[in-house]
C-alpha cells in the first residue's frame, strides 16, 4: 500500500455486507477511510472526494427497482475518472458477467461469499 490513509468507497444496497466489509477492512488496516453508499447514484454524488478505490456491487437494484445497476455506475465512474480502480462484487459465478465488468474497466471481479473479504483487502492493498 503506497497511501497512508486511502479512501475506500463501498457501494452495496445490502447493509450487512457493507458493515461486515467495513469492519473487516478497518480490522486489517486502521488507516482506511471508508464511506459506504446504498446506491450508485449516492456514490456518484460523492466522487468529488476522489476515492482511491471503489468496491461496487453488480446488482444495486434489489431494494429499489429503478436504481442504476453496478455496470452503469462503473461506466459513469470511469467516464469521470479513468484512473480510479473499481472492484466489482457479485454473487454470480459467471465468466460472462466477470468479463463484461473487466471490459468496462473494473480492476477485479470478486464473488460475494465467505472468502470475499480477504480477497477484497488484498486487491485494495495492491491498488492504493
Partner 1 sequence: MVDLTFLKKFTKEDAQKMKRYISLYLDVAPKTFEEMKRNLNNEDWEQLRINAHSLKPQVDFMGIDSLKEELIKMEEAVKTKNFDTLETLFTTSLKIATNSEIILKKMMDKL
What's the start-to-end Cα distance of the chain, in Å? 5
Q: How many residues does the chain have?
A: 128
Binding mask 41-60 for partner 1 (x = CB under 8 A): ------------------x-
14 counts as binding partner 1 under rule CB under 8 A: yes
User: By the 8 A CB rule, do 6 and 33 touch?
Assistant: yes
Q: Is 100 left (phi over 0), alpha (psi -120 to 50) or beta?
A: alpha
Number of residues that bind partner 1 (CB under 8 A): 20
> Which grid cell sits at 29?
488496516
87 counts as binding partner 1 under rule CB under 8 A: no
Part of the chain binding partner 1 (CB under 8 A), chosen from 3-11, 31-39, 108-116, 120-128: 108-116
Residue ranges that bind partner 1, judged by CB under 8 A? 13-17, 19-20, 23-24, 59, 61-62, 65, 91-92, 112-114, 116-117
Amino acid at each position: 500500500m503506497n497511501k497512508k490513509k486511502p479512501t475506500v468507497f463501498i457501494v452495496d444496497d445490502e447493509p450487512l455486507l457493507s458493515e461486515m466489509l467495513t469492519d473487516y477492512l478497518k480490522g486489517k488496516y486502521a488507516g482506511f477511510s471508508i464511506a459506504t453508499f446504498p446506491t450508485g447514484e449516492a456514490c456518484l454524488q460523492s466522487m468529488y472526494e476522489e476515492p482511491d478505490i471503489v468496491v461496487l456491487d453488480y446488482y444495486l437494484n434489489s431494494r429499489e427497482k429503478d436504481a442504476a445497476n453496478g455496470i452503469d455506475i462503473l461506466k459513469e465512474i470511469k467516464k469521470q475518472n479513468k484512473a480510479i480502480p473499481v472492484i466489482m462484487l457479485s454473487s454470480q459465478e459467471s465468466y460472462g458477467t466477470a468479463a463484461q465488468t473487466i471490459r468496462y474497466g473494473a480492476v477485479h471481479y470478486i464473488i460475494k461469499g465467505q472468502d470475499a473479504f480477504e480477497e477484497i483487502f488484498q486487491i485494495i492493498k495492491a491498488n492504493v
